[in-house]
């Protein structure tokens, strides 16, 4: 019989982050469909209220590694904690969120447990009692369904693939695990967090809407002039009113390097596409962006797509958008901002 372990690092406030709760939901589904045992292992300075959420999901046992040494993301301590949990829980399947902290140690954990790891899974099913998982390859162009016989099989779950589990408290067995931490495991110190200016505030993975700005915002307009300051005001005004996430085309984020006037709040972190990100939002609006294939491949997981472009023959018109507004994005966004207020 399979034994499913949900493994996660706790947020600084003791809760489970959104991706962790999405992973909890998928681990719970796997355990239910496999008729498997289900338990959770949590790592953090303190694990309340995260452990209550895991208990509410039906975990029969909770393995906790707590203490100030585990409050930070550090390979040596996180992998020691995860290994101790796995030795206590003896899982055959491990589900963990594909967040940077977990991604740093999960391969090392698989090695220590003599297991195998597959990362960024986006779904699962059970066929003839056998777990199969979905994963995208080659910049989201090929979708594969895989299974493995090796155990333990460790899986990280891509953000945004499932509604997050929410719930608070249920009785369960709690086991606190003491992990021996020699000084040599604590040499790495976290001195602070540096977020890139601008992009840190404009990339919002949980937003309902992705707003993409293309290079057209910086190009000469009908009067022969470019209006970059006006473009910045319109884009930031819209983001401010809607809290949408900001994406950019490669051409736009690259123009900074070409000495042209740029929108300073757009960096390569905003880039959507083949060599950029593949974000997940229910809706997307592309503005002044041509909709070429290497860009649109990054829209794979955007459910409803709209675009504003002056050119009725742009890429979006060729089956890549649900709605194309053939219009001047400056005029449209000015009106939209007015309607949104202020």
User: Any contact of residue 305 with ligand FAD (CB under 6 A)?
Assistant: no
**From the list 290, 299, 320, 333, which residue makes contact with ligand FAD (rule: CB under 6 A)?**
290
Site size toward ligand FAD, by CB under 6 A: 30
Q: What is the SS3 assignment for 331?
A: helix
Distance CA 138, CA 161 (A): 18
Of 122 and 251, which has the nearer Cβ to ligand FAD? 251
Measure Cα distances from 87 to 113, 177, 243 in Å.
Answer: 8, 10, 43
Of 191 and 223, which has the nearer Cβ to ligand FAD? 223
| Cα Rg of the chain (Å, integer) | 23
**Closest CB 216 distance from ligand FAD, rounded Å:** 2
Residue 80 pairs with which residues in a beta bridge? Answer: none
H/E element, 174? strand 173-176
Of 27 and 289, which has the nearer Cβ to ligand FAD? 289
**Closest CB 330 distance from ligand FAD, rounded Å:** 5
Of 163 and 196, which has the nearer Cβ to ligand FAD? 196
Distance CA 118, CA 232 (A): 41
**Contact by Cβ (8 Å): 19, 103:** no
- Structure-block tokens of residue 162: 């499932």
- Structure-block tokens of residue 161: 């693939």
**Closest CB 73 distance from ligand FAD, rounded Å:** 28
**Closest CB 323 distance from ligand FAD, rounded Å:** 14
Distance CA 131, CA 35 (A): 11
User: Any contact of residue 251 with ligand FAD (CB under 6 A)?
Assistant: yes
Please provide residue 280's backbone torsions phi and psi, each rounded to the nearest 5 degrees. Answer: -120, 110
Of 175 and 311, which has the nearer Cβ to ligand FAD? 311
Of 180 and 258, which has the nearer Cβ to ligand FAD? 258
User: Any contact of residue 288 with ligand FAD (CB under 6 A)?
Assistant: yes
**Interior angle at CA 150, CA 30 and CA 37, nearest 5:** 35
**From the list 152, 238, 292, 320, which residue makes contact with ligand FAD (rule: CB under 6 A)?**
292
Q: What is the DSSP letter of 3?
A: E
**Closest CB 329 distance from ligand FAD, rounded Å:** 4
Of 101 and 290, which has the nearer Cβ to ligand FAD? 290
H/E element, 305? strand 304-309
User: Any contact of residue 242 with ligand FAD (CB under 6 A)?
Assistant: no
User: What part of residues 307-326 is at the interface with ligand FAD (CB under 6 A)?
Assistant: 308-311, 314
User: Any contact of residue 271 with ligand FAD (CB under 6 A)?
Assistant: yes
Measure Cα distances from 291 to 73, 79, 136, 251, 318 in Å.
Answer: 38, 43, 22, 11, 9
User: What part of residues 206-225 is at the interface with ligand FAD (CB under 6 A)?
Assistant: 214-216, 219, 221
Of 112 and 227, which has the nearer Cβ to ligand FAD? 227
Distance CA 246, CA 223 (A): 27
Positions in the binding site for ligand FAD (CB under 6 A): 214-216, 219, 221, 249-252, 271-276, 288-290, 292, 294-295, 298, 308-311, 314, 328-330
């Amino acid at each position: 019989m399979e034994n499913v372990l949900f493994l996660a690092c706790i947020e600084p406030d003791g809760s489970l982050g959104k991706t962790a709760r999405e992973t909890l939901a998928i681990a719970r589904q796997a355990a239910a469909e496999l008729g498997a045992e289900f338990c959770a292992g949590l790592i953090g300075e303190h694990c309340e209220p995260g452990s209550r959420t895991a208990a509410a999901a039906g975990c029969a046992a909770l393995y906790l590694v707590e203490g100030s040494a585990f409050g930070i993301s550090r390979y040596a301590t996180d992998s020691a904690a995860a290994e101790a949990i796995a030795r206590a829980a003896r899982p055959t399947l491990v589900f963990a969120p594909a967040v940077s902290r977990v991604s740093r140690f999960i391969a090392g954990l698989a090695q220590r447990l003599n297991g195998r790891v597959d990362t960024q899974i986006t779904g699962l099913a059970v066929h003839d009692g056998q777990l199969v998982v979905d994963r995208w390859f080659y910049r989201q162009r090929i979708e594969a369904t895989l299974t493995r016989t090796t155990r333990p099989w460790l899986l990280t779950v891509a953000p945004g693939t499932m509604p997050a589990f929410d719930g608070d408290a249920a009785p369960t067995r709690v086991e606190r695990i003491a992990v021996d931490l020699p000084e040599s495991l604590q040499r790495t110190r976290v001195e602070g967090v540096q977020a890139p200016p601008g992009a840190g505030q404009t990339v919002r993975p949980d937003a309902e809407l992705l707003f993409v700005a293309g290079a057209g915002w910086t190009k000469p307009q009908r009067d022969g002039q470019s209006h970059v300051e006006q473009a910045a005001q319109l884009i930031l005004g819209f983001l401010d009113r809607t809290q949408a996430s900001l994406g950019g085309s490669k051409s736009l984020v690259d123009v900074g390097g070409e000495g042209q006037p740029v929108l300073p709040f757009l960096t390569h972190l905003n880039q959507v596409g083949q060599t950029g990100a593949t974000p997940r939002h229910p809706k997307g609006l592309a503005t002044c962006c041509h909709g070429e294939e290497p860009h649109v491949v990054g829209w794979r997981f955007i459910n409803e797509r709209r675009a504003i472009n002056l050119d009725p023959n742009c890429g979006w018109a060729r089956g890549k958008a649900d709605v194309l507004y053939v219009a001047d994005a400056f005029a449209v966004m000015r009106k939209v901002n007015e309607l949104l207020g202020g």
